[in-house]
Every structure is written in C-alpha cells, then in structure tokens.
Structure 1
Amino acid sequence: MSAAIRKFAPKAIVFDLDGTLVDSAPEIRSALNAAVDGIGLAPFPLSEVQGFVGGGAAVALRRALASRNREIDDTAFKATLAAFYEVYAEVSQKGNGLYPGVMETLAALKDRAVPLGLCTNKAAPITDIALEALGIRRFFSAVVGARDDLPRKPAPDMLLAVLASLDARPEEALLIGDSRSDVGSARAAGCPVIAVSYGYPHGPVGELGADLVIDRMPDLLLHLELTVKSP
C-alpha cells in the first residue's frame, strides 16, 4: 500500500444521509415493524433491516416483503407505506444516530471555503425533520431528498440538482456515500466519490468502485486540500 495520502480539492462536498452521516436503521426498523404489523408480518430484526436500507422507504418495504415471500396488492402497499411514514416521521424527531465524528467533521468543514450539500433517497419531508432533529441542517447550503420530479440515486439527477444549487460542476465536487447507489450516481454525474466502510453497502465496500474508502468520517479531513475562510 502506498504511503502517499490521496488528496481531493473539491469546490463542493455532497453527503448522503443514511449509512453515511446517520445510522438510521434502528428508526427504520421501528417504523417498518409498526407498518407491517398491520398486514400480519412478524417483526424484523435489526440485522435484517440493515439490508433493506438505501433506496428509500418504498424500496425498503418491497425488500422486506420479498424477504418473507409476501405479496400484497397496490392498495395495501400504499396503506402500509403510509403507516411507515407516519411512524417514521415521529421517530425521526428524536434526533438519534449520528455516527461518531460526524458533527465535528461538519463543523470543521463549515470553517472552510467549500459549500456543503446533502443528497438522499429519503423522502424530502422526513429528511427535513431528521436534519433539524439531528442538529445538522445548518451545515448544508443545499438539500435534495426524494421527490416525484427527480429520479432517485443511482440516477445522477438528484446529485446534479444539489450541485446546481451549490454552483459547482460535478468534476469539481466530491460525493461522500456508503452504497452502490451513491457510487453509481456519482459516476453517472462525472463526480469523484468517497465511500465510508461502516454504512449499508449491501456487499463488500471495496467492490463499490469508489475513488477512496474511509473508515471514519473524520478521516475525510485527511484527504482534503481546503482553503480556510478569512475571519
């Protein structure tokens, strides 16, 4: 392994949320189990729910149903998804689950010249609730959560929307994520990407194809060449 530390000099940094900044699986588990109780499914253990995270609530619910070989009609699916959102909006207000070092890293980046954005497949309204509860909304100049007019990651559209708001070109930016969807979105947009090793990669993180893998969020600072803001 080379002793050289790879450096990035981005004009904007965009973060994923679930599995990157916050360990949301416990809250997703609470909401999912409450929702599927209405259709007679037994609760899912946390280890199983971690495998459902990454594509948004509808994808998580479909993965959960498939894991139990359960099929429901569209009406029942929509009702179950609505029940999930109702509980998840409530538990998201608790502000739990920031990974170690995230708050400190975001605070350090705030003192630098690079603007920060957030791009997540989590529904936009719940994203807003979660960011405020976690106390990190103030760090981001642009936030894009899942909405009907934008294809979700791994499509590049959400990332490109964030970068447009930050007035940054993809090749001059940097995405930080934990999953194949994040890396795929970055690649489709033409944006460098760093993966964290501790999230929900759904496979070996080294096989995601990221430019770099870090084990702790504070390690990001070791790989950045940033300009300190003048007082």
Structure 2
Amino acid sequence: MMARSPTLVFDLDGTLADTAHDLIGALNLLMAREGLEPLAVADARALVGAGARALIERGFACRGAPLGPKRAEALMRDFLAYYEAHIADESRLFPGALAALDRFRAAGFRLAVCTNKPEGLARLLLEKLSAADRFAAICGRGSFPVFKPDPRALWLTIEAADGDPRRAVMIGDSKTDIDTARAAGAPSVAVDFGYTDTPVAAFSPDRVISHFDELWDAVASLNAAKLQRAPQAS
C-alpha cells in the first residue's frame, strides 16, 4: 500500500492572509450604526482570530457597550452579510505565502486549510486571493460537527485532503492552533505576525517563523527531529 502524502494544514486569518482591515471594517460599520467611535486597525488586530461573534463582542466592549446574547446574534448576521460582500477589499496573502504553497505542492505535499471561519467564507476569500486551487481541502466552521481546538477538526481536515495524519504539520498564529495540533498529536509551526495579544512563542509551538520563506526549513527540521526519535532497526 502506498503511503499517503505529507500534509500541511494552515489556519487562515492571521496565518495565510492578513484579513484584519476587512474584518475590522465590517465591525466599524456596525459600531458607527450604533453611534460608537470606530476602532483603529492597529489597536484592534488582537481582537481578530476568535470568530465573528467574539470580534463583535470584544469591539463593542472596548467602547463600553457590552452586548447581550440576542443583540450579539443579530449584529453577527449583519456583520457576516457585509463582510461577505467586502471580504477581499483589503485582505492579502502574507508575503511569501503563495510561493511557499507552490514549493511544498511541487515537493508532493498535500495542503489544507483548517479555520474557524465559516467554510463558505474561507473558500470565497481564498478564491478572491487566487489561492483556493492550491488546497486539497478547505475546511471551516460548518464543515464538521466540531471546530478548533477540538483535535477532530484537524484530523477530519487531513482526511478530507487525503493526507497522512502521521506526517502532518499544523501552521497557525494562535493558542487555538497550537492547542489543536498538540491535542491531535501533530507538530506545529507558528507565525509571529498574526492576531494574538500574547507573543505566540509563549504557547510553545514546535517552531516559530517570521516569514513564509522560513517555512520550508522549519518543516524540514521537524521531519528530521521525528526521524531521530523513531526507533532504529537492529
């Protein structure tokens, strides 16, 4: 039986793509409608990454206007409708991301996305950014009954990509991504340019990179370490 391909699984927001401007733009539209001052992107980047509802709740709380559950739910529907129509106005892949994806694909890796963004929005964003065709699977909230940090979200994404869970690496920007990988028994590479108010190294990923040009060597070092730990034949 042929071995399955080694697999890289990427988070999306804050990892592959810088989406903060469009996400915060949608938040600010709601806040302006409610008579609240908008948030500067530089100040609000750390609010991004935990999903639309959390972003809305955090943003309104920053302006001293905490939301109840029903109001948050209603605002989230408006947020998602506006955001879908403006999903790639300013969002861009991070520098070097596309070249890194192409290098790994050429080397025989399977690539997948595992995000807590709704699957439909994740697909739409990657299509707008001309990157969707690089991935064997694009999975998000709604793809499965579970989502990160449940390790089953990662396992099911790898399965959807026809990848090898024994040779899979998770690439993300947050504690959620690192916790997901750890629970799934997979190594993790963290990017330090994503959306977290705590330095990502504090969450103890296996490797940290500052540019996608560093991803190839990071994955190679993880594979080398795995081989060194493997039992040797006598």
TM-score (norm 2): 0.86
Aligned match of 2:85: 90
- Measure how far apart 1:132 and its partner are: 0.3
Aligned match of 1:170: 165
Residue 120 of structure 1 deviates from its aligned partner by 0.7
* Structure 2 counterpart of 1:59, from 43, 46, 54: 54
State whether residues 194 and 212 of structure 1, in contact with CA within 8 Å, keep that contact through their aligned partners in structure 2. Answer: yes
The higher relative CO (CA closer than 8 Å, separation ≥ 6) is in: 1
For residue 182 of structure 1, the aligned residue among 177, 185, 194 is 177
Contact kept? 1:95, 1:135, Cα under 8 Å: no
Q: Of the candidates 122, 125, 130, which is equivalent to residue 130 of structure 1?
A: 125
Deviates more, 1:184-193 or 1:155-164: 155-164
Matched-pair contact (CA < 8 Å) for 2:189–2:218: no
One-letter code aligned to 1:160: W
Q: Which runs of 5+ in 2 are unaligned?
A: 224-234
Q: Does 1:116 align with 2:117?
A: no
Distance in 2, matches of 1:62 and 1:148, equals: 24
After the TM superposition, list the runs of 4 or more consecutive aligned residues in structure 1 that deviate by more than 4 angstroms: none
More strand by proportion, 1 or 2? Answer: 2
For 2:144 and 2:169, the matched residues in 1 are separated by: 24
In the alignment, structure 1 segments of 5+ residues that lack a partner are 1-9, 227-231
Distance 1:63 1:153 in 2: 20
Alpha-carbon distance, 1:93 to partner: 4.1
Alpha-carbon contact 1:178-1:200 (below 8 Å) kept = yes
Count residues with an aligned counterpart: 217
Structure 1 counterpart of 2:186, one-letter code? C
Which of 206, 213, 226 is the equivalent residue of 2:201? 206
Quote the Cα distance in structure 2 between the aligned partners of 1:160 and 1:187: 12
Choose which of 5, 11, 15 in structure 1 pairs with 2:10.
15
Work out the CA distance in 2 between the residues paired with 1:73 and 1:85: 18
Question: Where does residue 155 of structure 2 map in the other structure?
Answer: 160
User: What residue is the counterpart of 1:192 in the other structure?
Assistant: 187
Query: What value does the CA root-mean-square deviation take over the aligned residues?
Result: 1.9
Q: Secondary structure at the match of 2:18?
A: coil
Q: Judge conservation of contact 1:13–1:174 (CA < 8 Å) in 2.
A: yes
Q: For residue 151 of structure 2, what is the amino acid of its counterpart?
A: P
Quote the Cα distance in structure 2 between the aligned partners of 1:215 and 1:21.
Answer: 12
How far apart, CA to CA, are the structure 1 residues paired with 2:152 and 2:31? 31
> 2:192 is matched by which residue type in structure 1?
S
